[in-house]
Structure 1
Amino acid sequence: MKTITLFLCLIAFFHQSSLAQTKQEIEGAWLFEEGDIQHTLVLVDSYLSYSTFDIKNKKFINTWGGPYKIQADKLIISVEFNANDSSDVQSEHIFNIKISGNKLFAKIGSKEQTWKKTDDNNNPLSGVWRITSRKVEGKMNEMPLRDRRTLKILTGNRFQWIAINIKTGEFSGTGGGTYTFVDDTYTEHIKFFSRDNQRVGASLAFKGKLVNGQWQHSGLSSKGEPIYEIWSKMYLKK
């Protein structure tokens, strides 16, 4: 009986180790290209966003995502936002996946896709962030967590912001691309923007620093308006 129990414990241990390894391997940013159409996957702090855009014509196509988990060779996503289909929110998507080195093989429907990893989450800003306070007319206003929220998802060098309502499925906008964080300067290089494709190709620089786990963020918005915001991590690392 002791031998059987030990054997079962070892199976459970190696299964959990395998899942943890897969989780570690999949986190970061991935790219899949079809001509001028770019597909990006960003996965950090058990949260995923899948975005599609036409890089040549500066046209945003879609983005969707939410919390995810790994079970064996399955990637399971609980959808919290979908720019093109609000009825998809609160549904679940399941995909077969396989990781080999810096390649991710994902069968979405009947179509096999090969993704290339473009970065790991090796940046102090890597995580899923939300605005917790903002300065308005010289006064800091607290912003409690509600169904309607603005998130910023950062991997090692990719960023995406989304303004969503996880209950109603309302989608207010998104933008994304690559970023750098050097000498307290955070700079975004915009690759897609749902509200105005003329923003694509622009770079925006902000002053930023991490203080006690909070991201202090200041500068000018894409509309040229002054901002001062404090962002906090939405999820703890798992």
Structure 2
Amino acid sequence: MKKVLSMLGLCCFSILLYAQSKVGLHGVYLAKNGQQNELWLFADGYGSHISYENNTYGSTYGGPVALTEEGIRITIEYNDANPQEVGQTKNIKAHVKATGLQIGSLNYIKQVAKKQDLDGLWRITGRKQEDKMSTIKRGDRKTIKLLVDGYFQWIAINPAEKGFYGTGGGQYSFANGKYVEHILFFSRDNGRVGAKLDFTGELKNGEWHHSGKSSKGDPIYEIWSRDRE
């Protein structure tokens, strides 16, 4: 009987892993490590890990991800704590469960899914300056934004030079043309944690038009495109 149950358990895990390997990891996973929050965001074949306390930013790393039999394979595009890892492929031993991820001693709980139209990986491709819209050409330097299940993170990087220029994120909502952010971490200024920012958001021909005022109070108008590189 124990052998049958063991085989059933292995079969169920195999089915789960196979299903997730087809759609990729997706969602928000959160663990507590003492006072530290350990957060994983996954969408569109991309993953980002962020460490932060309630009012203090820690570090982040991320890049394209894939599931393997042993866990998660990630090609590092940025790592502000260990920039020498940029360009390397890292294999993270992880136990994938329906309710979350087990990585080492940390149990990451999968957060409740909150699917919204902006979920996915975006890259800034346009910005208005002095009433003129300028196109931002694709190159090594880029600013990307990962949104999934009510959480978001933006990251300004240059993987070719192992460059990291800042990040911020937290929780978001998008409905009826209103895009709202609640800041949980900000690498450039911990004092901005807790801020609520209101923007106008609209999807036009698959592009995200984002306007309002920045965390500094400056007016902004940006265009973001789906990042499929």
- TM-score clears 0.5: yes
Matched, 1:167 2:164: no
Contact 2:21–2:66 (CA<8 Å) still a contact in 1? no
Report the 3-state secondary structure (helix = DSSP H, G, I; strand = E; otherwise coil) of the residue aligned with 2:47: strand
After TM superposition, give the deviation of residue 222 of structure 1 in Å: 0.8
- Spell out, residue by residue over 1:100-128, the C-alpha distance to the aligned partner (whole angstroms, 9 max, x if none): 22121123xxxx32100114372110011
CA distance in 2, matches of 1:39, 1:233: 26
Change in CA separation of 1:25 and 1:169 when aligned onto 2, cut-off 3 Å: closer
User: 1:1-238 to 2 correspondence within 5 Å?
Assistant: 18-22=17-21, 24=23, 26-55=25-54, 58-107=55-104, 112-120=105-113, 122-235=115-228
Count of residue pairs the alignment pairs up: 216
Contact 2:24–2:67 (CA<8 Å) still a contact in 1? no
CA distance in 1, matches of 2:22, 2:102: 15
- Spell out, residue by residue over 1:142-178, the C-alpha distance to the aligned partner (whole angstroms, 9 max, x if none): 1011111101110010000000111111111000110
Report the 3-state secondary structure (helix = DSSP H, G, I; strand = E; otherwise coil) of the residue aligned with 2:18: helix
CA distance in 2, matches of 1:119, 1:149: 30
Report the 3-state secondary structure (helix = DSSP H, G, I; strand = E; otherwise coil) of the residue aligned with 1:123: coil
Report the 3-state secondary structure (helix = DSSP H, G, I; strand = E; otherwise coil) of the residue aligned with 2:122: strand
Q: Report the residue type matching 1:188 in the other structure.
A: E
Contact 1:25–1:99 (CA<8 Å) still a contact in 2? no
CA distance in 2, matches of 1:22, 1:68: 11
TM-score by length of 1: 0.86
Of the structure 1 ranges 201-210 and 97-106, higher mean CA displacement relative to structure 2 is found in 97-106
Contact 1:130–1:233 (CA<8 Å) still a contact in 2? yes
Of the structure 1 ranges 157-166 and 97-106, higher mean CA displacement relative to structure 2 is found in 97-106
Change in CA separation of 1:121 and 1:164 when aligned onto 2, cut-off 3 Å: farther
Unaligned runs of 5+ residues in structure 2 are 1-13
After TM superposition, give the deviation of residue 25 of structure 1 in Å: 7.2
| Alignment match, 2:7 | none
Of the structure 1 ranges 71-80 and 157-166, higher mean CA displacement relative to structure 2 is found in 71-80
Of the structure 1 ranges 20-29 and 172-181, higher mean CA displacement relative to structure 2 is found in 20-29
After TM superposition, give the deviation of residue 83 of structure 1 in Å: 1.2
Contact 1:82–1:89 (CA<8 Å) still a contact in 2? yes
CA distance in 1, matches of 2:158, 2:133: 23
CA distance in 2, matches of 1:215, 1:176: 18
Unaligned runs of 5+ residues in structure 1 are 1-14
CA distance in 2, matches of 1:95, 1:114: 14
TM-score by length of 2: 0.89
After TM superposition, give the deviation of residue 70 of structure 1 in Å: 1.3
CA distance in 2, matches of 1:17, 1:30: 17
